[in-house]
Amino acid sequence: MHETNRIEYKLQLTDELEKEVIAFLNYPEGGLLFIGIDKSGKVVGVTDVDKLQLKIKDRLKNNILPSCLGLFDIIAEEKNRKDIIKIIVASGPEKPYHLRKYGMSEKGTFIRAGSAAEPMTAKMIEKLFARRTKHSLGRILSNRQDLKFEQLKIYYEESGKTLNKQFATNLGLITENKNFNYVGYLMADENAVSIKVAKYNGETRVELIENNEYGYCSLIKATHRVLDKVDLENKTSSRITSKKRVELTLMESGGSARSYNQCYRA
């Protein structure tokens, strides 16, 4: 049997173990990784199977994020009177999986392409991560089901759009069982979530000047209030030169003027 999009052979345990497993975790169908078989399919075997199994488990447990525990199985098999290791990898529900060492980057994230593990592009990583976040929040049941969305409707009307009766389904605000999920809770007129914006004197957090909290309403409304606050505080200064007038906001100028030397934290 030759290598395929779902089968990978390794002559021995190498530094590429995590890379190959990550590629299968990110692949829609998962895959099988055999250790003790060369690329041509010839069985060579391994020694000290028990020790090898423990080493593989520890590496996959400690070197891959999000946790892939429960998504792989390590089996010792005998083939042609030689011991080999078979690692069964399921397709993970929290894609993209990546190397802990390199983070969610092109250097640390892989996917199966043909019979090889290839680095993911930044665009692929962003797409999978956005889908993961959406699906994770979408599966969490809201602790309240008496939600109203008048603020959300106003936002859409101001954008020239109207929400129909199916808006909760279309916007992903409900679970498969037709109950409001956590996304719906965040978008509702009333919730217990807020955004805190603090203003400090200088570039450290030593001297707090102002502390505001926006929230307990639709996340869209709260976000707009935060942006309005930032715009209000981000004052523009002008400097007339011999050739032209230069305008800089406080953030663009780095807050160099003593009276405006303030930093913000949201």
101 compared with 205, residue with greater pLDDT: 101
Identify the pLDDT of residue 206. Answer: 86
At 227, list the tokens.
Answer: 């942006």
Length of the chain: 266
Does residue 202 share a domain with residue 161? no
**Residue 233: pLDDT band with limits 50, 70, 90:** confident
Does residue 72 share a domain with residue 43? yes
**Does some domain include residue 133?**
no
Does residue 157 share a domain with residue 50? no
**Does some domain include residue 120?**
yes
Chain centroid to Cα 218, Å, comes to 23
Does residue 110 share a domain with residue 25? yes
**Does some domain include residue 134?**
no
Q: At residue 258, does pLDDT exceed 80? A: no
Does residue 97 share a domain with residue 13? yes
**Does some domain include residue 234?**
yes
Does residue 174 share a domain with residue 105? no
* This model's pTM is above 0.85: no
**Does some domain include residue 218?**
no
pLDDT-wise least confident of 95-104, 136-145, 154-163: 136-145
Please give the tally of structural domains in the chain. Answer: 3
pLDDT per position as a tens digit, 48-69: 999 999 999 999 999 999 999 9
Q: Are 18 and 56 in contact (CB under 8 A)?
A: no
Q: Are strands 7-10 and 31-35 parallel, antiparallel or unpaired?
A: parallel
**Does some domain include residue 73?**
yes
Does residue 161 share a domain with residue 179? yes
Does residue 102 share a domain with residue 46? yes
Give the domain CATH number at 66: 3.30.950.30
258 compared with 190, residue with greater pLDDT: 190
Does residue 157 share a domain with residue 94? no
Phi, psi of 177, rounded to the nearest 5 degrees:
-90, 10
At 240, list the tokens.
Answer: 């007339």
Count Cβ atoms within 10 A of the Cβ of residue 23 and give its class: 0-12 exposed, 13-18 middle, 19 or more buried: buried
**Could you please report the per-residue DSSP string of the chain?**
---BTTEEEESS--TTHHHHHHHHHTSTT-EEEEESB-TTS-B---S-HHHHHHHHHHHHHHHEES--TTSEEEEEEEETTEEEEEEEEPPPSSPPPEETTT-SSTTT-EEEETTEEEEPPHHHHHHHHHHHHHHHHHHSBPS------HHHHHHHHHTT----TTHHHHTT-B-TTS-BBHHHHHHSSS-S-EEEEEEEESSSSSEEEEEEEEESS-HHHHHHHHHHHHHHHS-EEEEE-SS-EEEEETTTTTT-SGGG-EEEE-
Identify the pLDDT of residue 146. Answer: 95
Q: Domain of 207?
A: 195-212+224-265
Identify the pLDDT of residue 232. Answer: 86
Does residue 111 share a domain with residue 28? yes
Does residue 164 share a domain with residue 104? no
Identify the pLDDT of residue 251. Answer: 55
**Residue 134: pLDDT band with limits 50, 70, 90:** low
**Residue 266: pLDDT band with limits 50, 70, 90:** very low
At 110, list the tokens.
Answer: 């892989």
Does residue 72 share a domain with residue 48? yes
**Does some domain include residue 135?**
no
**Does some domain include residue 217?**
no
